[in-house]
Each structure stands twice: as structure tokens, then as C-alpha cells.
Structure 1
């Protein structure tokens, strides 16, 4: 297990679950204090590897031993957003392309695409993805494609 400060520095002192800042000087017993989450990350055809990630103690405790739920930003205008954690798992396993949301306008889709790439750079730094915005059915589809 790595030192908390090593994991915190690597993750820029941001919680991988809620994407909020983590205070490195807070008590580890505080809800907003730093904690290391020891999650298993599937590696194709090689079993599972452990990835240590920085989390708030409360976020880590709330997640427990279940799969993480990574929320979409409430500032985005997206319809039928796909669950981020499950989408990342599928793209790691199979690669390819997956539609993750619908947006009413091109500007909304572009904003959601920029947010999603930024969020995934911290949530799944090992997964190289690109976004695609395509018109379809009077809306704009936002898709992720493995690079």
C-alpha cells in the first residue's frame, strides 16, 4: 500500500468519486479527510489489478464494497446519461465506441463532451478516450471512443 501523500500528490488531492478537493491537512477521521480507496480495476485477459485512489473518507465509506457511482455534473444539459463507471468498465474490456448521452443542442453536447473528457482524465487516467458529437433524431448524441 502506498503512502497517503504519494497517492494524494498523484491524484492532485481530488476525490476520485465526487471530484471535489481533499484537504491533505484534514484528519483522516474527518468525513472530508483523506482516504485511500483500494479498488480493483479489471485488466483485459489478466485478471484484476489494484489501483489506489484518493477519496474523502465519507465518499470511500459510502461506496463500501460496491461499484462506484460517478455522477454527471448537474450543470450539464444531458438526457439519458449512461452510468460513467459501468461505461468505463465496458470500454476497458471491449474498447470501441459507446453512446453516453443525448443533448438538445450542439453547444450542450460540446460542453458535456469537454466535461466528460476532463472528468475521465481523473476517474480513469489509464483509459485514453475521445468524444464524438453527432446529430441524430433532432438531438445530438455524445459518444466515447477508445483511442
Structure 2
């Protein structure tokens, strides 16, 4: 198990679930205090590498009770965004690509793509993703794929 400070520094003290700051000086017993979340990088394989991510204690606890919801930024202009966590899990299991959002213009699509790749660096640090932006029907489709 890694040192909490090492994981926090690596993740810039941002919770991988809610994407908000975690207080590095907060009590580990506080709901908003820092904790680490461990998961097997390749769940299907025995002896898989374990990856640790920073989370608020409350976010980490709730993740054990209900499926995590990783929100899209309210600063982005995206239409019909896909649930990020579920899209990542499907792509990691089956590969391919998936349309994850529609945007009204190319600039909005580029901003959403940049934000999404940054977000995924915390959500799935063991995986590398790429985005594709395609025009169609007067809008721009943002697709996500696992970059192998």
C-alpha cells in the first residue's frame, strides 16, 4: 500500500470520484478527509497490478454502496453526455470506441475532449485513452477509445 501523501501528490490532491479538491491536512476520519481507493488494474487476471487513487473518505465509502457517478464538468457545453464511469468500464472490457457526448461546435468539442482526457488520467491511471471529434448533423460528436 502506498503512502497517502504519495498518492495525493500524484493525483494533485483531487478526488478521482467527485473531481474536487481534497484537503491534504484534513483528518482521515473526516468525511472530506483524504483516503485511497485501491482497485485491480486488470480485474480479470490473477496477480493484477493494484492501482491506488485519491478520494474523499465519504466518496470512497459511498462507492462501496452504490456504483460511482463521475460527473461531467458544468463548465462544458455537452449534450447527452454518457456516464463516464460506465463508458470507461465498457471500453476497458471490450475495446472499440464509444460516442460519449455531442457538442454544438468544434471549440466546445475540443474543450470537452481535453477535459475528459485529463479526468480519465485520475479515473483510470492504468489506461491510456484517446478522443476523436467528428462533425455530423450540424454538431460535433466526441468519441472515446482505449489507446492500445
Normalised-by-shorter TM-score class:
0.7 to 0.9
Structure 2: tracts of 5 or more residues without a match: none
1:66-105 superposed matches below 5 A: 66-105=66-105
Corresponding residue for 1:115?
115
Aligned length: 146
Calculate the TM-score normalised by the size of structure 1.
Answer: 0.87
Corresponding residue for 1:124?
124
Determine the C-alpha separation between the residues in 2 that align with 1:28 and 1:135.
Answer: 47
Distance apart, 1:2 and its partner CA: 2.9
Moved over 6 A (4+): none
CA RMSD of aligned residues (A): 1.9
Corresponding residue for 2:135?
135
Distance apart, 1:41 and its partner CA: 4.5
1:32-43 superposed matches below 5 A: 32-43=32-43
- The answer (yes or no) to whether the contact 1:32–1:57 under 8 Å persists in 2 is yes
- The answer (yes or no) to whether the contact 1:7–1:52 under 8 Å persists in 2 is yes
Determine the C-alpha separation between the residues in 2 that align with 1:129 and 1:52.
Answer: 19
Structure 1: tracts of 5 or more residues without a match: none
C-alpha distance 37-65 of structure 1, shift in aligned 2 (>3 A): farther
Distance apart, 1:62 and its partner CA: 2.7
Corresponding residue for 2:13?
13
Distance apart, 1:40 and its partner CA: 4.6
C-alpha distance 95-84 of structure 1, shift in aligned 2 (>3 A): same
Calculate the TM-score normalised by the size of structure 2.
Answer: 0.87
Which structure dedicates a bigger proportion of its chain to strand? 1
